[in-house]
């Protein structure tokens, strides 16, 4: 009998640790980049794989490092964060992009979401919350500053009205969402994360995840913010 087989070997005892979240920081202010780096470097489950000072450099660095999450400013020289976001979604579609900006302009917010961003946060976010943001977005959540959620809905509503005026009505039936799915979608539209939605509706967080997955499949889209856009256009949710 192999004595080693019954005794705890290193291979048997070593638990498979999850891979760290590969993160790229993009901002034209070196001091702000340093601050983010210092905070994230202290997190054992987050690995900094690079930094860039503008949109063009971000695309280059992302192609080399293949990050899981990209924290990116909007207003940058040479190529803006919005332009870079579009290019990055083509180059590394699996990467989750969070706009971290001082801009609270509705147009920037809306264009960021349309470009494929998974989050939009203002730079007044406490630095100690950035790591949780990286984890949440990497886990599939879409994040938006609560103060910006109302602006996003206003912009979606305006878009829906413009599309209605410019395009003839289509005969394609709107996708059917259950009453519970519509409740979840309304809370997503308010910028709430899965945990807060679960508390609001008195259901488990896993149930919320399943509802969101079903909503995305029914609407045939890939992100929570896209779901809100479609829901507004198809009048699946209304504004109070």
pLDDT per position as a tens digit, 149-183: 666 666 666 665 665 566 554 444 556 888 899 89
pTM (predicted TM-score): 0.67
CATH classification of 149-233, choosing from 4.10.80.40, 1.10.600.10, 1.10.10.10, 3.40.50.970? 1.10.10.10
Contact 223, 97 (CB under 8 A): no
CATH topology of domain 19-143: Rossmann fold (3.40.50)
Say what the pLDDT of residue 171 is: 42
Q: Taking the domains of the chain in order of start, what are their residue ranges?
A: 19-143, 149-233
The most distant pair of C-alpha atoms in the chain lies apart, rounded to whole Å, by 80
> Whole-angstrom Cα distance, residue 80 to residue 148?
20
Check pLDDT > 60 for residue 11: no
């Amino acid at each position: 009998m192999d004595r080693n087989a019954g005794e705890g070997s290193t291979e048997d005892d070593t638990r498979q640790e999850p891979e760290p979240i590969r993160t790229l920081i993009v901002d034209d202010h070196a001091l702000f980049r340093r601050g983010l780096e210092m905070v994230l470097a202290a997190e054992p489950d987050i690995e900094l794989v690079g930094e860039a000072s503008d949109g063009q450099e971000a695309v280059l660095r992302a192609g080399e490092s293949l990050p899981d999450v990209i924290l990116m400013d909007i207003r940058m020289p040479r190529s803006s964060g919005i332009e870079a976001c579009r290019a990055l979604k083509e180059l590394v579609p699996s990467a989750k992009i969070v706009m971290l900006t001082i801009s609270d302009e509705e147009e920037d917010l809306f264009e960021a979401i349309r470009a494929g961003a998974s989050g939009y946060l203002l730079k007044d976010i406490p630095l100690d919350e950035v790591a949780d943001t990286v984890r949440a977005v990497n886990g599939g959540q879409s994040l938006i500053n609560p103060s910006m959620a109302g602006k996003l809905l206003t912009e979606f509503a305006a878009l829906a009205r413009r599309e209605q005026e410019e395009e003839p009505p289509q005969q394609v039936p709107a996708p059917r969402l259950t009453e519970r799915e519509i409740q979840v979608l309304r809370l997503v539209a308010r910028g709430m994360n899965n945990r807060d939605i679960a508390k609001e509706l008195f259901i488990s967080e896993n149930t919320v995840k399943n509802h969101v997955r079903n909503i995305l499949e029914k609407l045939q889209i890939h992100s929570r913010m896209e779901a809100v856009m479609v829901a507004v256009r198809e009048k699946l949710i209304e504004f109070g």
